[in-house]
Amino acid sequence: MTAHDFDAAIDLEPLGDGRFRGHTHPAYANMVGPFGGITAAVLTRAVEVHPDRLGEPLALTVNYAGPVADGEFEIRLDAVRTNRTTQHWTLELTQDGAVATTATAVLGQRRETWSDTEARMPQAPPPDELPVSPVPPVTWAQRYEMRFAEGPVPGHGVKPADTSTSTLWVRDSPTRPLDFTALTALCDIFVPRVYIRQARMMPAGTVSLTVHFHAVGDELRDQGDDYVLASASASRFSAGWADQSATIWSRAGVLLATTHQLVYFKD
Amino acid sequence: MTAHDFDAAIDLEPLGDGRFRGHTHPAYANMVGPFGGITAAVLTRAVEVHPDRLGEPLALTVNYAGPVADGEFEIRLDAVRTNRTTQHWTLELTQDGAVATTATAVLGQRRETWSDTEARMPQAPPPDELPVSPVPPVTWAQRYEMRFAEGPVPGHGVKPADTSTSTLWVRDSPTRPLDFTALTALCDIFVPRVYIRQARMMPAGTVSLTVHFHAVGDELRDQGDDYVLASASASRFSAGWADQSATIWSRAGVLLATTHQLVYFKD
């Protein structure tokens, strides 16, 4: 059995003192540097493997401060405060001493309480009833199988769309069991919403990504390597900036994560 | 003319080396320590007054790592990366050397582009046609005038609500012109959504707050001291955690900010 490229891409070598060495992986390359989702995933991974870690990921914010060059990088992270049920982390990804990415993470304990999901899962045919969609022409996108249920397939829209909403079934390709790192990466698989609205590509990229993890107990393990239903839309485009909010659902209707990002664009 | 308590509460004394001294203000007290919104606002303020600042606030994430005691605090902040159109900050609020709050902020240039608002402004009667609502029994809430248009008034719901949505007109009391700091604080004026669903109070609090600022050019100045329409709801409650997403609108229908938080609760 060969290790999945995803695991190779988030592999970290401990350097001591809360420092880890990682390296970009060609399988997750973007047009320039790595896929933002894999960078977010390796930051989640750094917290997971840190010996001081207590609890599970609850909230993550990643700020893409500058380009990540292909090659080695270093992650420095610190549990700046550990409470009884929460732990607060700050993280920095550097290359040659220059900060490329900053992040904060909140970990915590989950315990039985009243629960309810208010958000509605988007309606979509089962994945097997939808064709496999062509993915965007970047390397990392080949690492996902996408089956669009709502909205134009990016790059194949004939005209500008009235709304930016995309809803698709998606899973790792080849498949891989879902965990917090893979869920983190899935939160960033959407093309910039402005591509959908304008039916064309333009310079655009995520500057800040926030993930709120909702999966509880066995919900991630139960997911196995099945598809998730991922749905994204923007609230406002203006002055070179747009937001994007997305929900990530299991086939059984479990809301696994909500995620929000701020994206720059140049039209 | 007397300075507004809000301005006193976010006032900072420069200590050099990217450090500032602030102090909690009794007018913005919560049950324990200060209102989370005023802590977020003073962090926005710290970036605004820092001599290295370039651009306007675009994204802010504040993590409430531990309690803030009444009294002095210190904010240390650093522009870890300055690009041509964006600037990335990390911030820490400490008391006696202990980290109480961490934050990151992204600033940037806004420039003319294609624009569109996809989110729909919630329907609500004009504020003057709605009664002033009683505010929650905490000091900071007296600093806001609230007029509820949708959802039970917190503390006055007779029974658990089917949805957590609250929509209200709100402005500073006494009134004060809107700016990025006041807008930051407004993003946190909602009671925990679980109070609405359960029609009762319980231990609950924000652990992570993200704001995406959408206001462009004169949109904040044009707002003056008028009401904003603020609408919040949760996606999922589970295992002691819930999210909350909110939109902040001008009366004219300008989406000024979107905001997302993760909240703990103990039922």
Three-state helix/strand/coil letters over chain B: CCCCHHHHHCCCEEEECCEEEEECCHHHECCCCECHHHHHHHHHHHHHHCCCCCCEEEEEEEEECCCCCCCEEEEEEEEEEECCCEEEEEEEEEECCEEEEEEEEEEECCCCCCCEECCCCCCCCCHHHCCCCCCCCCHHHHHEEEEEEECCCCCCCCCCCCCCCEEEEEEECCCCCCCHHHHHHHCCCCCCHHHHHHCCCCCEEEEEEEEEECCCCCHHHHHCCCCEEEEEECCEEECCEEEEEEEEEECCCCEEEEEEEEEEECC
Residue B81 CB neighbours (<10 A) = 20
CB B85 within 8 A of CB A264: yes
Across residues A208-219, what is the average pLDDT?
96
Query: What does the DSSP 8-state code read for residue A23?
Result: E
**CB neighbour burial string for A17-48, b if at least 16 within 10 angstroms, e if fewer:** ebbbebebbebbbbeebbbbbbbbbbbbbbbb
Show residues of chain A in contact with B67, CB under 8 Å. none
Please name the helix (run of DSSP H) or strand (run of DSSP E) that holds residue A195, with its range, or none: helix A193-198
CB B86 within 8 A of CB B53: no
Q: Give CA–CA dist A23/A9, Å, rounded.
A: 7
Tell me chain B's radius of gyration from C-alpha atoms: 18
Q: Provide the CA A171 distance to its chain's centre, in angstroms.
A: 12
CB pair distance less than 8 Å for B61 and A61:
yes
Q: Over 80: is that where the pLDDT of A157 sits?
A: no
**Chain B residues touching A85 at Cβ < 8 A:** 240, 264
- For chain A, positions 207-236, list CB contacts with chain B under 8 A: 207-208, 210, 212, 214, 216-217, 233-236
The pLDDT value recorded for residue B155 is 83
Q: Are strands A56-64 and A228-233 parallel, antiparallel or unpaired?
A: unpaired
Facing residues of B99 across strands?
B94
Interface test with A, best of B85, B88, B247, B265 (most A CBs within 10 A): B88
Which candidate in B256, B259, B262, B265 is best for mutational testing of the A interface (most A CBs within 10 A)? B262
Q: Which of A88, B3, B34, B31 is nearest to B22 (CA)?
A: B34
Question: Chain centroid to CA A172: how far?
Answer: 12
A229-242 per-position pLDDT tens digit? 999 999 999 999 99
Note which residues in 47-86 of chain A have CB less than 8 A from chain B. 58-59, 61, 63, 65-66, 80-81, 83, 85-86
What's the pLDDT score for residue A37? Answer: 98
Per-residue pLDDT tens digits for A177-209: 999 999 999 999 999 999 999 999 999 999 999
Nearest 5°: phi and psi at B110? -105, 140
Peptide linkage before B174 cis (omega within 30 of 0): yes
Q: What percent of chain A has pLDDT over 90?
A: 94
CB count in 10 Å sphere of residue A147: 21
Interface check for A258 against chain B (CB to CB < 8 A): the answer is yes
3-class SS of residue A182:
helix
Interval B46-67 mean pLDDT: 97
A80/B212 Cβ within 8 A: no
Compute CA B104 distance to the chain's CA centroid, rounded to the nearest angstrom.
15
- Its sign, for the CA torsion B265, B161, A233, B255, is negative
Q: Closest residue of A to B119, CA-based?
A: A235
The closest CB to that of A115, out of B58, B85, B239, belongs to B239
Q: What is the DSSP string of A65-123?
A: -SPPPSSEEEEEEEEEEE-SSEEEEEEEEEETTEEEEEEEEEEE-------EE-SPPPP
pLDDT-derived band at A3, boundaries 50, 70, 90: confident
Cβ separation of A264 and B118 shorter than 8 Å? no
More reliable by pLDDT, A154 or B41: B41
Q: What is the pLDDT of residue B198?
A: 95
The one-letter code for the residue type at A33 is G
Whether cis (ω within 30° of 0) applies to the bond prior to A152 is no
pLDDT at B140 over 80: yes
Let me know: does A258 contact B237? Beta carbons within 8 Å. no
CB contact under 8 A, A113 and B59: no
| C-alpha to C-alpha distances, A63 to A12, A95, A178, B59, B198, nearest whole angstrom | 20, 15, 24, 9, 35
Residues 81-140 of A with CB under 8 A from B: 81, 83, 85-86, 88, 90, 92, 98-100, 102-104, 106, 108-119
Distance CA B172, CA B131 (A): 16
Tokens 């509820």 belong to B148
Cα–Cα distance measured from residue B172 to residue B182, given in angstroms and rounded to the nearest whole number: 8
Exposure string for B166-192, b = 16+ CB within 10 A, e = fewer: bbbbbbbeeebebbbbbbbbbbbbbbb
Number of CB pairs, chain A paired with chain B, less than 8 A apart: 224
The tens digit of pLDDT for each residue in B1-48 reads 568 999 999 999 999 999 999 999 999 999 989 999 999 999 999 999
- ∠ Cα B41 B132 B11 (to 5°): 20
Please, what is the average pLDDT of chain A? 96
- How high is the pLDDT of residue B105? 98
Q: Within an 8 Å CB–CB cutoff, is residue A195 touching chain B?
A: no
3-state SS class at A225: coil
Largest CA distance in chain A: 54
Question: Would you state the pLDDT for residue A1?
Answer: 54
pLDDT score recorded for residue B157: 74
Kind plus residue range of the DSSP H or E element containing A172: strand A166-172
In this predicted structure, the answer to whether residue B96 has a pLDDT above a threshold of 90 is yes
Token look-up 């002095």 returns: B72
Structure tokens at A226: 């099945």
Residue matched to tokens 């290295």: B52
| Tens-digit pLDDT profile for residues A84-104 | 999 999 999 999 999 999 999
Q: Which residues are CB-contacts of A63 (< 8 A; sequence separation ≥ 6)? A: A101, A102, A103, A207, A208, A209, B59, B88, B104, B106
Band the pLDDT of A38: cuts 50, 70, 90. Answer: very high
- Cβ atoms of residues A192 and A242 within 8 Å: yes
Q: What's the rounded mean pLDDT across residues B109-116?
A: 96
In the block, tokens 């401990």 appear at: A14
Nearest residue on chain A to B103, judged by CA atoms? A104
B46 phi and psi, to 5 degrees? -60, -40
